[in-house]
Structure 1
């Protein structure tokens, strides 16, 4: 096996491992990175963009340098393939995302029988960061569909594309950036300045992958023209420059209307509507999961193809 094909094969094998086994239950590398980053934050935190930029540079730079050193030493094609597959498996979240979507659908189905939304509200934190206390079944359904759309890009398409272009350092670096954004990139008194660099870096890292994800959603869905129209017309109404295109494309593909007012830690964020259809209901979660899985499959093929072409050119 030539070394130039090891990246493409490793990406495909890693995606297959994620599809078969999902995230490791213990000792997950991303969780370990999160603990290390939290410790570093405790040493560097200050209400300062400059200190936040230093934090982001160290927290992303160190794993990338280590990953690059490992990949450079892996001169045997089989070893390089195994390393790429392991890194891909560690950073992808396709199976876990689909499982969470189906679990939420099951909990909402149970609530239709007994009227108890408590378990579904508690479970929402596995998918979305918004406050579930005031959400009814329709609100929980919308939050879940929107999160499935956004995380299809963040947890699957983006890491695969970065892996295709930059190999193991790209996989590791992207996951570090995305994890830091989840940790410190949100707006709050503590992170308004300190988390600014992490949030902006995540915006840059996801700019192209989010638009590729939107295009794949249009291709994978049954309403490609409606998906493209919603993406072009409505994406700008979303406060996130990258979540907007993906959620709008999913809304059009599923024939739904997403968006509206969300509550995050007591802060109300009123965004425009995405798509022309009806608001999501519980059965739409299964449809959203199927669309997400279809986008995942296309992303694996695309990333493998890009890696193979780039490998031949190298």
Structure 2
């Protein structure tokens, strides 16, 4: 019960407060990982695997210690779970970025929108027009709704604080070193593969919740089943395809990430996104987040019943 309540309180805190402005624990983890990379980096999978194992293992172990220290103190356990949930979620910050991008695009401030896109993804925005920026924003909102909201909530519901901290550590490392660049192709391999595994089920749960939250489950699932495999990511594909079906849009295409190009196929059969679709996508992402918080609480209560049996 304390886990379920902590997850709901932490989700509410994220919706109201967003990320801490200063001394964010995830940012601190990222700085630690960057310093460790300076000493540990080698162009090999074994070095990257060791690097990922130490950092993710340490975060998960810290969560296990916290769970054991508070498991007989329900009030404290609720507060600790709420704090961990608030720390690892990024739904409100994602929502703010969507609002900011929507405002810039509506004001036709394309240079500022190009600069701001880097807050959502690593896509090269130098030559993107307004509708291209809208597509990039919609796709990033879809993918990050799974990564920054649905997945951590579901891992928290299943495993508690260790699930929350371990997932966020793995996802952060993937964002730092999981790129298919010359530098990280080998060193970041373990972080990228671990993130793929940890998101395998949550991404598909997010796809289902997206269709339900939009009131178009058949359309979302149909596009997911038909088009997701065209996407190079095994987890972003189902989520972006589900958003395309839920919003009746056509996503995907060729994207530039500086030193490499990526073809994401064609997801959906509707029109390509326009500026107005950014706010529609953000509204849908908020509803998906609420649904995921409910599912996470149910997972936590289910685990409690199994423990009692």
The two structures have a TM-score, normalised by structure 2, of 0.98
Alignment of 1:312 onto 2:305: yes
Contact 1:131 1:266 (C-alpha < 8 Å) held by counterparts: no
State the shift of 1:271 in Å. 2.1
Aligned counterpart in structure 1 of residue 80 of structure 2, from 74, 83, 95: 83
Aligned to 1:127: 120
State the shift of 1:223 in Å. 2.5
5+ long unaligned stretches in structure 1: none
Contact 2:110 2:129 (C-alpha < 8 Å) held by counterparts: yes
Aligned counterpart in structure 2 of residue 156 of structure 1, from 149, 154, 175: 149
Aligned counterpart in structure 2 of residue 20 of structure 1, from 10, 16, 23: 16
5+ long unaligned stretches in structure 2: none
1:278 aligns to what SS in structure 2?
coil
The 1-side partners of 2:302 and 2:220 are apart by 29
State the shift of 1:134 in Å. 1.0
State the shift of 1:224 in Å. 2.2
For residues 55-74 of structure 1, the aligned pairs below 5 Å read: 55-74=51-70
Aligned counterpart in structure 1 of residue 97 of structure 2, from 94, 97, 100: 100
1:240 aligns to what SS in structure 2?
coil
State the shift of 1:268 in Å. 1.5
Contact 2:231 2:263 (C-alpha < 8 Å) held by counterparts: no
The 2-side partners of 1:234 and 1:36 are apart by 39
Q: Could you report, residue by residue, the CA deviation over 1:190-241 in whole angstroms, capped at 9, with x for unpaired residues? A: 1110000000000000000000000000111133221111000000000000
2:255 aligns to what SS in structure 1?
strand
Aligned counterpart in structure 1 of residue 176 of structure 2, from 152, 176, 183: 183
Aligned counterpart in structure 1 of residue 213 of structure 2, from 200, 217, 220: 220
2:2 aligns to what SS in structure 1?
helix
For residues 260-271 of structure 1, the aligned pairs below 5 Å read: 260-271=253-264
The 2-side partners of 1:145 and 1:128 are apart by 11
Alignment of 1:170 onto 2:163: yes
Aligned to 1:53: 49
Alignment of 1:32 onto 2:28: yes
The 2-side partners of 1:97 and 1:189 are apart by 29
The 2-side partners of 1:216 and 1:105 are apart by 24
State the shift of 1:88 in Å. 0.1
State the shift of 1:265 in Å. 1.5
Q: Which runs of 4+ in 1 moved over 4 A?
A: none
Contact 1:7 1:84 (C-alpha < 8 Å) held by counterparts: yes
